[in-house]
């Protein structure tokens, strides 16, 4: 039995007239009659009583009509759902992010997106850099809001620029080398450093080393820590200085200063990265991101 047969029966039940029903479904009256007979044979019951004067549903026909309407409604809903999914109107986007880098931007993106796209679910996953990239590369997430580091070499990965930030020396306010923004990092070559444990965030670990090496020295690492809060605490305790992007200052107390490094302006870049042609809902998220950045 086809959906068309079910819908034809519903139309006949609504009109109780073969001529009117056949006109509504754009088929001849004899063909509609054959269609109903075929349904009755398949079900093994009579659905319609036909006389010269009228057409009536049998008790079995009335009972079948209730379920037929449910089936037709489910089919219509299924068609609509699958078309909306294909068009990116309905679905799910799995978004991975680093909360420390998106404290201001992410809430605006999420609230704006959900307001505009109530039929699309945003699933949010908070990571440090390495697990975030692993989740993206393994297709466990659709989109990554991530620092731009060697992403151009990944085939079929698209990216959109979000923002840039300065890299800063982080040190106590009363540190003797605290001379204000625009410092030469080489002046800190003899200072002990507090950095992230590479097992936790190899990106942050490598970034500190690369910036120091670009300024002519290797950092003297005094502490490796596993969280941003621990890093800031160790710096505040005088166990060393560190290097972070300026937006991390939001997490620090007033006892620490973030001093811009000369030559490292806008060195920290955040992007939105996603797989090309993977999820039809993603363009709607990109539109919202554009509006939030405008």
Q: Residues 277, 157: one domain? A: yes
Q: List C-alpha distances in Å: 291 to 121, 145, 248, 285.
A: 19, 16, 24, 10
Q: What is the H or E stretch that residue 106 is in? A: helix 105-116
Residues 6+ apart with CB under 8 A from 60: 43, 45, 46, 47
Ranges of beta strands (E only) in the chain are: 48-50, 55-57, 91-97, 120-126, 143-147, 157-165, 167-172, 192-196, 220-225, 242-245, 256-260, 268-275
Residues above pLDDT 90, as percent of the chain: 73
Domain range for 192 is: 167-265
Average pLDDT of the residues in 15-26: 93
Domain count, the chain: 3
Residue 150 has pLDDT above 80, yes or no: no
Residue 180, pLDDT score: 78
Tokens representing residue 54 in the block: 């009228």
Q: Are 57 and 175 within one domain?
A: no
pLDDT the model gives residue 230 = 95
Average pLDDT over residues 254-276: 89
CB–CB of 12/48 below 8 Å?
yes
pTM for this one? 0.72
Sign, Cα dihedral of 234, 235, 240, 242: positive
pLDDT, tens only, 56-104: 999 999 999 999 999 999 998 888 888 877 777 889 999 999 888 788 8
pLDDT band at 273 (very low <50, low <70, confident <90, very high): very high
pLDDT of 265 above 80: no
Q: Are residues 19 and 151 in the same domain?
A: no
Based on the domain organization, do 160 and 172 belong to the same domain? no
> Given 33, 56, 86, which residue is the final one in a domain?
86
Statement to judge: residues 278 and 136 lie in one domain? yes
CATH number, domain of 172, equals 3.40.190.10
Q: What is the mean pLDDT of the chain?
A: 91
Alpha-carbon distance of 289 to 27, in angstroms, equals: 50
Has residue 159 got a pLDDT over 80?
A: yes
pLDDT-derived band at 229, boundaries 50, 70, 90? very high
Q: How far is CA 221 from the centre of its chain?
A: 37
Q: What's the pLDDT tens digit per position in 131-141?
A: 899 999 999 99
Q: Tell me the CB-side half-sphere exposure of residue 281, using CA atoms within 13 A.
A: 22
Q: What is the pLDDT of residues 68-80, one digit of tens each?
A: 999 999 998 888 8
Is the same domain home to 144 and 185? no
Task: Take residue 286 and report the two structure tokens written for it.
Answer: 């990109």
């Amino acid at each position: 039995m086809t959906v068309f047969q079910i819908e034809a029966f519903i139309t006949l039940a609504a009109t109780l007239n073969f001529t009117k029903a056949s006109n509504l479904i754009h088929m001849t009256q004899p063909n509609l009659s054959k269609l109903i007979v075929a349904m009755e044979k398949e079900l093994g019951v009579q659905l319609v009583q036909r006389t010269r004067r009228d057409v009536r549903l049998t008790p079995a026909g009335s009972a079948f009509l209730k379920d037929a309407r449910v089936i037709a409604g489910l089919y219509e809903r299924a068609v609509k759902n699958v078309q909306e999914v294909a068009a990116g109107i309905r679905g799910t986007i799995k978004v991975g992010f680093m909360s420390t880098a998106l404290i201001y931007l992410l809430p605006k993106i999420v609230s704006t997106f959900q307001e505009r796209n109530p039929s699309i679910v945003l699933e949010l996953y908070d990571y440090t850099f390495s697990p975030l990239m692993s989740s993206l590369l393994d297709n466990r997430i659709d989109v990554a809001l991530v620092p731009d580091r060697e992403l151009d070499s990944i085939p079929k990965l698209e990216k959109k620029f979000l923002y840039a930030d300065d890299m800063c020396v982080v040190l106590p306010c009363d540190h003797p080398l605290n001379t204000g923004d625009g410092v030469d990092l080489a002046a800190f070559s003899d200072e002990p450093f507090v950095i992230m444990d590479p097992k936790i965030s190899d990106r942050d670990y490598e970034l500190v080393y690369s910036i120091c090496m670009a300024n002519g020295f290797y950092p003297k690492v005094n502490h490796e820590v596993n969280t941003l809060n621990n890093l800031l605490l160790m710096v505040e305790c005088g166990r060393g200085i560190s290097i972070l992007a300026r937006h991390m200052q939001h997490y620090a107390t007033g006892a620490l200063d973030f001093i811009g490094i000369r030559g490292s302006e806008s060195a920290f870049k955040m992007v939105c990265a996603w797989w090309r042609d993977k999820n039809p809902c993603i363009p709607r998220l990109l539109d919202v991101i554009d509006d939030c950045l405008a």
